[in-house]
Amino acid sequence: MIATQSQPYLSPEEYLAAEEISPIKHEYIDGDVYAMAGASDAHVTISLNCASLLKSHLRGTGCRVFMADMKARVNRLNRFFYPDVMVTCDERDRSTPLIKCYPCLIIEVLSDSTEAFDRGNKFADYQEIETLTEYVLISQSRQRLDCFRRNEEGFWVLQSYKLGDRVHFKSVDFYTTIKEIYEDVVIEDAIAQMQ
């Protein structure tokens, strides 16, 4: 989640060196560094549910699941982000312990403050990762998941899922349900509507 710009221009190398010792995480866009805000209970729970389900499914396949603290690098655009959940099955990512450049699946849990960026500029940036075939946006204000898939022609196609639907992440041939993704999550809008 991008909050505020924190420093003047840094090179990618300076950013990576500073990030190793920083007590807070920062995302990097063309030399500008942005501090990341904290996350809500729902945000963390949804991320953990997805990562846990994917980790269990991918055990023994060579694919790796990362959560929140692993950086994704968009090489072509000089960007570093912290996806909520990321899966890479590419051997090249094994040689880079602090960043991953070749994910096949990225999941972002939406919040009011980040939704426009996650759906807009961040998605446009992620599209420059040639190995990325699925980009998933999960709402924390209602039970809804939007999965953007890169088709054979290179176009991104949206498939939306809601409560009761069976979800398929084709990039890693994984099936789950909206119910499993939202396990233990209290939807704030639903609570407000009941009052």
Summarised one tens digit per residue, pLDDT across range 99-130 is 999 999 999 999 888 899 999 999 999 999 99
Q: Are strands 79-81 and 71-74 parallel, antiparallel or unpaired?
A: antiparallel
**Which of these ranges, 14-23, 53-62, 77-86, has the smallest mean pLDDT?**
14-23
The whole-number pLDDT of residue 195 equals: 38
Q: Is the pLDDT of residue 192 over 50?
A: no
User: pTM value?
Assistant: 0.90
Q: What residue type is 40 in one-letter code?
A: S
189: pLDDT confidence band, cut at 50, 70 and 90?
A: low
62: pLDDT confidence band, cut at 50, 70 and 90?
A: very high
**Which of these ranges, 1-5, 35-39, 79-83, 96-100, has the smallest mean pLDDT?**
1-5
> Among 136, 143, 119, 167, which Cα is nearest to 42's?
143
The whole-number pLDDT of residue 1 equals: 39
State the chain's mean pLDDT as an integer: 91
For the segment 35-60, the average pLDDT, to the nearest whole number, is 94
Instruction: Give dist(CA 25, CA 68) in Å, integer.
Output: 10
Instruction: Give dist(CA 158, CA 61) in Å, integer.
Output: 27
7: pLDDT confidence band, cut at 50, 70 and 90?
A: low
Summarised one tens digit per residue, pLDDT across range 143-174 is 999 999 999 999 999 999 999 999 999 999 99
13 by DSSP, 3-state: which?
helix
Q: What residue type is 177 in one-letter code?
A: T
Q: Report the phi/psi class of residue 60: left, alpha or beta, with left for phi > 0 and alpha for psi in -120 to 50.
A: left
The whole-number pLDDT of residue 187 equals: 86
The whole-number pLDDT of residue 95 equals: 96
How many percent of the chain have pLDDT more than 70? 93
Which domains are delineated in the chain? 39-194 (3.90.1570.10)
The whole-number pLDDT of residue 39 equals: 85
104 by DSSP, 3-state: which?
strand
Do residues 123 and 135 touch, judged by C-beta distance below 8 A? yes
